[in-house]
């Protein structure tokens, strides 16, 4: 744990970066514009990575205003300066608007203050305005220094020594309104705040027959509104990029009233089934009619096709006047900026911060200002000017009422979100849907995981829209073998998105011993295709319990089987000191080294520690063993506590990411199934035993197919849908066999192991670093057909 041997593809990160940077580098880090959760994680990563490679790092307090004012606003940071800030929202170094920096006089003062401290590398965390200002500053830098020398404020030697300024940006914005990156720092946390409110509102709206209009941030970008609507199954959403068509008022009211009628009918049927002996059915019918809610989400910058604002109050008045529904407006406001940053934002910001420092060290006088971005699960660098230009092009398209262009310019992910929402929110009348004469079944397998229900809802609705008859299989393969198969309709999956666990039920039972029974059930129900949802357990958040205590080390055991993803990513998100995983063998010397490392740490002002252990990382070095070793070796220096998180990691409501990802990946799976069924030779409905298709989301174990002696038409008739680098793609199971360690149920190569050095570096360990993908400046371009997905 304390060190790694370098190989042909890896070199010591410190050696690699010192070779590039030389000595005497100074980096200034500032946050500017609106604050966003995760900014502190980015600041921490910049400071620690900078110090790790021998550079000086300076806090620039209060953004550009602090740079202009100088003095105590520019302070050298040390390792301990950024301790215990990962979980803190906002920004510890402050952020302020600065009119002075917009003038040349202001930028002259700022340049003088930086030169006096030898700062020629700037890391700016903010929105497009903040990054644009940094790029202007960079372009003017040599001229500003010449002018300062003429005024006698600096000498010629300083002009030559600090001849050029390097600028790297990280986008901190809860609106996700910056083109060139899949996610900006703070967006995921803002979505958490919104979904928490929506989930709370849904309970009170169910108690009373109410409609809620929820206004979220997004003056120029509808990302928060769109993804929130997708994640909670909202009835209607208003976005600046995609205004509703003329006559939307009538269309929305018709839809709301139809939904109410459908829900009432469905609940009356359920009430009959649940009727208690001795109580009239009409009592249950009346209760059923009253249990109806509508959720309408509005971006604060929502407009109509004439660019006129659509406000929450307007929508409320419309619903009350036309439908007579009890309607309430909730405006979230700055609640969306507050609270603890999510694990996603902590990891994203930490990755971006480290990459930003590497980019600064690799920069030359000819290197343009760049932005560190997220593309799929990859960190990339893009020219700042290109990103800003495309962001401005979106606003221009909206101003000129070219709304289709605005959606396209937002990127493939935004466009896919919008199209997916429309498919899932609006059901066409049955007589307008072309029937495929195909039966498609959906099953959950393995352990329950957050997001499963969102995936089932998405699959059912997309399948119905494609003309298929959708079947639900209850209780996994065991239930399948017993014939627990039932048709499931559009309305049956309403409200499933925010539910935890698996409503269909799931078991870990594998299909092997049930194959004959399952084959019979497939023939009985004429199943043409099977969507399998399940796989290795996942969790999106591990809390750091050590905050607020002194001289104490917490040892936390995480789930994951033999896969160390949770332990590793949890350690990165929580700022842990060590993480023990199966993929990286360790021995008693590593454990002893970690204890010594923590002992030294306790001599500083950072007097707490956190250690994570994957449940199956070692047969002998158990959680109890590690706890006892740390307790014994740390006597007199620190004490220990241990915690086995267990199944609490699988519980609770799914996060916005899990809801959104489950929805989109399942929709893609159903599109693939529909395509395969259309490609099948012969008429699928007429010869149901000729071809079957199967797709599995989220696992690498081999699914099955049984078919009266027939083989698949091609190997890609059975695929796993997942993420590889920047893309979602379907991979035939036959290919996956070569890449999978079936004994331990993990891939032979894990992409996230490349992030392991970051956790070690930020915990002050020596580490190695893979340099093959580093240092390339890419260009902004429109996405291809395959849509990237974030980590």
Catalytic annotation, residues = 175
Q: Phi and psi dihedrals of 527, rounded to 5?
A: -80, 120
What does the alpha-carbon distance between residue 167 and residue 121 come to, in Å, rounded to a whole number? 6
* Residues in Cβ contact with 249 at an 8 Å cutoff, skipping those fewer than 6 apart: 318, 322
Q: Phi and psi dihedrals of 174, rounded to 5?
A: -70, -15
Using a 10 angstrom Cβ sphere, with 0-12 exposed, 13-18 middle and 19 or more buried, the burial of residue 535 is buried
What does the alpha-carbon distance between residue 664 and residue 721 come to, in Å, rounded to a whole number? 11
Instruction: Say which residue the tokens 């956190």 belong to.
Output: 610
What does the alpha-carbon distance between residue 668 and residue 698 come to, in Å, rounded to a whole number? 13
* Residues in Cβ contact with 596 at an 8 Å cutoff, skipping those fewer than 6 apart: none
Taking CA atoms, 790 is separated from 183, 376, 775, in Å, by 8, 4, 21
CA atoms within 13 A of residue 208's CA, in its CB half-sphere? 9
Taking CA atoms, 48 is separated from 81, 347, 572, in Å, by 9, 15, 13
Helix (H/G/I), strand (E/B), else coil: 464: helix
How many helices (H) and strands (E) are present in the chain, helices listed first? Answer: 24, 26
DSSP 508-567: ---SGGGHHHHHHHHHHTTEEEEEEEEES---S----TTTT-SSEEEEEEE--TT--HHH
Q: What are all long-range contacts of 617-623, with beta carbons under 8 Å and residues at least 24 apart?
A: 617/564, 617/567, 617/580, 617/581, 617/582, 617/586, 618/580, 618/582, 618/585, 618/586, 621/580, 621/586, 621/588, 621/591, 623/555, 623/557
Pairing status of strand 10-12 against strand 768-770: antiparallel
Length of the chain in terms of residues written = 791
CA atoms within 13 A of residue 415's CA, in its CB half-sphere? 19
What does the alpha-carbon distance between residue 618 and residue 695 come to, in Å, rounded to a whole number? 33
What does the alpha-carbon distance between residue 236 and residue 234 come to, in Å, rounded to a whole number? 6
What does the alpha-carbon distance between residue 691 and residue 713 come to, in Å, rounded to a whole number? 7
Beta-carbon count within 10 A of 741 CB: 14
Beta-carbon count within 10 A of 286 CB: 12
Q: Are 319 and 211 in contact (CB under 8 A)?
A: yes
Q: Are 614 and 555 in contact (CB under 8 A)?
A: no
What does the block give as tokens for 212? 């809620």
Residue 747's beta-bridge partner residues? 740
* H or E element, residue 625: helix 623-633
What does the alpha-carbon distance between residue 92 and residue 18 come to, in Å, rounded to a whole number? 29
What does the alpha-carbon distance between residue 129 and residue 1 come to, in Å, rounded to a whole number? 42
Beta-carbon count within 10 A of 646 CB: 12
Taking CA atoms, 519 is separated from 488, 507, 522, 712, in Å, by 21, 19, 5, 15
Q: Phi and psi dihedrals of 117, rounded to 5?
A: -105, 5
Helix (H/G/I), strand (E/B), else coil: 726: coil
Helix 312-323 crosses helix 248-274 at what angle (to 10 degrees)? 60
Question: What SS3 string covers 255-318?
Answer: HHHHHHHHHHHHHHHHHHHHCCCCCCHHHHHHHHHHCCCEEEEEECCCECCCCCECCHHHHHHH
């Amino acid at each position: 744990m304390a060190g790694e041997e370098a190989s042909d593809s890896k070199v010591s990160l410190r050696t690699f970066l010192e070779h590039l940077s030389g000595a005497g580098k100074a980096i200034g880090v500032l946050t500017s514009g609106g604050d966003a959760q995760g900014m502190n994680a980015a600041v921490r990563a910049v400071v620690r990575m900078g110090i790790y490679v021998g550079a000086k790092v300076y806090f620039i307090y209060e953004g550009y205003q602090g740079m202009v004012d100088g003095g105590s606003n520019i302070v050298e940071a040390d390792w301990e300066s950024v301790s215990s800030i990962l979980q803190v929202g906002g920004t510890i170094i402050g952020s302020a608007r600065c009119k002075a920096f917009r003038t040349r006089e202001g930028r002259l003062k700022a340049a003088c203050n930086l030169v006096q401290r030898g700062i020629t590398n700037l890391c700016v965390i903010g929105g497009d305005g903040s990054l644009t200002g940094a790029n202007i500053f960079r372009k003017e830098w040599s001229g500003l220094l010449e002018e300062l020398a003429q005024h006698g404020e600096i000498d010629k030697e300083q002009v030559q020594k600090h001849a050029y300024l390097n600028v790297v940006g990280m986008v901190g914005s809860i609106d996700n309104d910056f083109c060139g990156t899949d996610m900006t720092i703070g967006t995921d946390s803002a979505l958490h705040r919104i979904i928490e409110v929506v989930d709370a509102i849904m309970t009170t709206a169910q108690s009373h027959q109410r409609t809620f209009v929820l206004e979220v941030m997004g003056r120029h970008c509808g990302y928060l509104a769109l993804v929130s609507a997708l994640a909670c199954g909202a009835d209607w959403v208003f976005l600046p990029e995609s205004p509703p068509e003329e006559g939307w008022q009538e269309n929305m009211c018709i839809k709301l009233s139809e939904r109410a009628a459908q829900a009432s009918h469905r609940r009356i049927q359920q009430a009959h089934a649940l009727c208690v002996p001795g109580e009239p059915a009409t009592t249950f019918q009346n209760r059923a009619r009253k249990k109806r809610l509508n959720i309408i989400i509005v971006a604060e910058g929502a407009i109509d096709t004439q660019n006129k604002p659509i406000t929450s109050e307007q929508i409320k008045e419309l619903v009350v006047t036309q439908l007579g529904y009890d309607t309430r407006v909730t405006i979230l406001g700055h609640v969306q900026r507050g609270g603890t940053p999510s694990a996603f934002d902590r990891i994203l910001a930490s990755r971006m911060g480290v990459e930003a420092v590497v980019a600064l060290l690799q920069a030359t006088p000819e290197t343009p200002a760049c932005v560190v971005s997220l593309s799929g699960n990859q960190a990339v660098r893009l020219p700042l000017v290109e990103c800003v230009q495309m962001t401005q092009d979106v606003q221009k398209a909206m101003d000129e009422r070219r709304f289709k262009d605005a959606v396209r310019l937002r990127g493939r992910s935004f466009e896919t979100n919008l199209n997916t929402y429309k498919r899932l929110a609006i059901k066409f009348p049955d007589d307008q849907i072309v029937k495929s004469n195909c039966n498609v079944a959906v099953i959950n397998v393995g352990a329950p995981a957050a997001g499963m229900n969102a995936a089932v809802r998405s699959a059912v609705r997309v399948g119905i829209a494609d003309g298929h008859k959708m079947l639900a299989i209850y209780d996994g393969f065991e239930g399948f073998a017993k014939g627990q198969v039932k048709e499931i309709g559009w309305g049956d999956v309403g409200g499933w998105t925010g539910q935890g666990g698996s409503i269909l039920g799931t078991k870990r039972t594998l299909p092997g011993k049930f194959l004959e029974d399952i084959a019979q059930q497939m023939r009985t129900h004429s199943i043409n295709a099977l969507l399998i949802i399940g796989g290795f357990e996942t969790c999106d958040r591990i809390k750091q319990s050590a905050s607020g205590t002194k001289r104490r080390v917490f040892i936390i055991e995480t789930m994951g089987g033999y896969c160390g993803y949770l332990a590793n990513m949890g350690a990165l998100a929580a700022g842990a000191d060590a993480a023990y995983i199966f993929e990286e063998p360790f021995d008693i010397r590593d454990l002893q080294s970690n204890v010594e490392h923590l002992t030294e740490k306790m001599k500083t002002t950072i007097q707490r520690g956190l250690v994570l252990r994957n449940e199956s990382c070692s047969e002998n070095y158990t959680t109890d063993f590690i706890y006892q070793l740390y307790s014994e070796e740390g006597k007199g220096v620190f004490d220990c506590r241990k915690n086995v998180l267990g199944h609490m990691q699988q519980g609770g409501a799914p996060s916005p990411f899990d809801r959104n990802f489950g929805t989109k990946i399942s929709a893609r799976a159903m599109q693939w199934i529909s395509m395969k069924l259309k490609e099948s030779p012969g008429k699928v409905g007429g010869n149901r035993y000729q071809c079957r298709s199967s797709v599995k989301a989220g696992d690498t174990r081999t699914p099955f197919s049984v078919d009266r002696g027939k083989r698949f038409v091609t190997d890609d008739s059975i695929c796993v849908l997942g993420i590889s680098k920047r893309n979602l793609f379907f991979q035939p199971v036959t290919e996956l066999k070569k890449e999978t360690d079936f004994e331990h149920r993990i891939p032979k190569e894990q992409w996230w192991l490349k992030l392991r050095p970051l956790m070690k570096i930020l915990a002050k360990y020596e580490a190695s670093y893979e340099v093959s993908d580093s240092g390339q400046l890419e260009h902004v371009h429109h996405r291809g057909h395959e849509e990237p997905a974030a980590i």
